[in-house]
Amino acid sequence: MTDHLTVKHLKLENGETLAYREAGNGNNILLLVHGNMCSGVHFLPIAERLPPGFKAYIIDLRGFGDSTYNNRIDTIKELSDDLFAFVSKLAVEHFTIIGWSAGGSVCLLSALAD
């Protein structure tokens, strides 16, 4: 059950704080990015079913869920930059990003920037 997944917070250099949850404990890292008008809680059913060997970071994008919205977002790139700052600060180097809707766009821009 995902009730045990504590919401954690990571302060970024841009002054924003991203809320996230961790599930699993493997070396295969998943970064789960939600779509518009929702939050990472929509990924909790996946977190319940992670196979052995996988770890997921379930993020609330800036302005969604429990994350802050101190600075206005004008482009998807700003959310992508937040995502890059998040993985950099946690020193996560190898991961798979999964997103839908606006989160999918954030993931695509993040992949292009790599």
CATH code of 94's domain: 3.40.50.1820
- Enter the tokens of residue 69: 């919205």
- Model confidence pLDDT, tens digit, residues 82-92: 999 999 999 99
Instruction: Give per-residue pLDDT as tens, 21-39.
Output: 999 999 999 999 999 999 9
Provide the number of structural domains found in the chain. Answer: 1
| Percent of the chain at pLDDT exceeding 70 | 96
Report pLDDT for 112: 85
Name the strands in the sheet holding 28-33, side by side, starting at the edge strand that comes first in the sequence: 8-11, 17-24, 54-60, 28-33, 96-99
Residue 4 pLDDT > 90, yes or no? no
List the domain range (segments joined by +) for residue 102. Answer: 2-113
Q: Output helix, strand, coil percentages for the chain, rounded to the nearest 5.
A: 35, 25, 40
Q: How far apart are CA 26 and CA 73, in angstroms?
A: 33
